[in-house]
Amino acid sequence: MADCFRITYNAENSYDYPVTAATWQFLILPLENESQHHLKFEFSNSLGAYWELSHSGFGFRTIRVRSKGPVSRISFTAEISLIKEVVNPFAFNPEMVPPFNGPELKLQDFRLTFARYIRPTHLTTLPPGSAALYSWDQGEGYLEKLQALNTWVYEYLYYTPGVTDVDTSLEEVLGLNKGVCQDFAHLFIALARNKGIPARYVSGYLHQGKGYFGDAQMHAWAEAWVPGIGWIGFDPTNNILAASNHIKVAHGRDYDDCAPLKGIVFGEGENTSQHAVAVQSQQ
């Protein structure tokens, strides 16, 4: 049975000194596909600044807000509703999946097609020697081995808010053995790519009230390409596969491609930003 989700996204930006002009871009609207549909939303801001719909570099729908007057503080609110179908990540024919470490990962056409999701980025670069932390000897096929990787990341890192930020490198994360959802996702992606498996970063929302880590803010997980099946979502923060409780917004190479809020401001001084997310479900 499908769920009807209602999502409330709130953000507030404050500036030490009034900025003379600013543009903010929000990547917070759920993707519409076979399992997510009938999307409706209302968006507002405290200053009544002009806004319009646009698209990110990866083609995902964004909300762009422009202000031409002096701004010391501005708040934003999005009320979103959508229908989420039941998703079974195991609904495939196992015979379609080739043996692990087959020739397909090494084919030139394959590597060209998935190049952007195989090459490391500054947030998914493993420090020297760290690839040896994980052994790919667990499981038989692609899906089993990626599930084993999902479990390993979940057990290796401790979910600890406040010790990392969105720019924290994997070298720092591995040194701490702590982090939040984007750190778990980056580590999973880095290890998968190091093995030649295409993997991408996913941002979205997580059903609250289920006791999952990372449900109080926008959540992050990973998708890996499984030959014979396609993209499968892995949530190493919670050691589960992404399914009915995950509401996808966007994907990209790492967090930078999926940041929920980006801005260009003209002014001096520092700024602070606060975010809050509420996700409610009704069957």
What CA–CA distance (Å, rounded) separates 11 from 157? 28
Is 93 a residue whose pLDDT tops 90? no
Q: Both 144 and 70 in a single domain? A: no
Q: Both 265 and 251 in a single domain? A: no
Summarize pLDDT for 205-229 with one digit per residue, the tens: 998 878 899 888 899 999 999 988 9
What CA–CA distance (Å, rounded) separates 141 from 147? 10
Q: Both 123 and 216 in a single domain? A: yes
What CA–CA distance (Å, rounded) separates 250 from 259? 9
75-79, 89-93, 126-130: which has the minimum mean pLDDT? 89-93
* Phi and psi based region of residue 230 (left: phi greater than 0; alpha: psi -120 to 50; beta: remaining): left
pLDDT at 210: 81
Under the banding of pLDDT at 50, 70 and 90, the label for residue 103 is confident
Q: Both 244 and 263 in a single domain? A: no
Of the chain, the percentage scoring pLDDT greater than 90 comes to 69
What CA–CA distance (Å, rounded) separates 162 from 121? 23
Under the banding of pLDDT at 50, 70 and 90, the label for residue 99 is confident
pLDDT at 283: 65
Contact between 237 and 210 (Cβ < 8 Å): no
Is 63 a residue whose pLDDT tops 80? yes
What CA–CA distance (Å, rounded) separates 52 from 255? 23
Q: Both 119 and 77 in a single domain? A: no
Q: Both 252 and 271 in a single domain? A: no
Mean pLDDT of 5-11: 96
Mean pLDDT of 18-36: 94
Domain count of the fold of the chain: 2
Q: Both 76 and 191 in a single domain? A: no
Contact between 136 and 152 (Cβ < 8 Å): no
| Structural domain span for residue 59 | 3-85+259-282
Q: Both 171 and 157 in a single domain? A: yes
* Phi and psi based region of residue 239 (left: phi greater than 0; alpha: psi -120 to 50; beta: remaining): left
58-72, 86-100, 243-257: which has the minimum mean pLDDT? 86-100
CATH number at residue 273: 2.60.40.2250
The type of residue at 282 is Q
Q: Both 195 and 150 in a single domain? A: yes
pLDDT at 270: 82
Q: How does strand 178-179 pair with strand 158-159?
A: parallel
Mean pLDDT of 257-262: 95
Mean pLDDT of 26-43: 96
Query: Would you state the torsion angle of the CA atoms of residues 14, 17, 21, 24, taken in this order, to the nearest 10 degrees?
Result: -20
* Phi and psi based region of residue 158 (left: phi greater than 0; alpha: psi -120 to 50; beta: remaining): beta
CATH number at residue 202: 3.10.620.30
What CA–CA distance (Å, rounded) separates 163 from 58? 29
**Which of 204, 224, 72, 220 has the alpha carbon at shortest distance from 141?**
224
Summarize pLDDT for 124-181 with one digit per residue, the tens: 999 998 888 898 887 778 889 999 999 999 999 999 999 999 999 999 999 999 999 9
Is 47 a residue whose pLDDT tops 90? yes
**Which of 257, 128, 264 has the alpha carbon at shortest distance from 203?**
257
Q: Both 103 and 229 in a single domain? A: yes
pLDDT at 185: 98
pLDDT higher for 1 or 7? 7
Of the chain, the percentage scoring pLDDT greater than 70 comes to 99
Is 241 a residue whose pLDDT tops 70? yes
Model pTM score: 0.94
Q: Both 241 and 227 in a single domain? A: yes
Angle at 16 between CA 12 and CA 17, to 5 degrees: 110
Task: Give Cα separations from 262 to 8, 11, 80, 168, 177 (angstroms).
Answer: 19, 12, 20, 17, 28
Q: Both 186 and 76 in a single domain? A: no
Q: What is the mean pLDDT of the chain?
A: 92
What CA–CA distance (Å, rounded) separates 163 from 141? 35
pLDDT higher for 191 or 264? 191
Is 1 a residue whose pLDDT tops 80? no
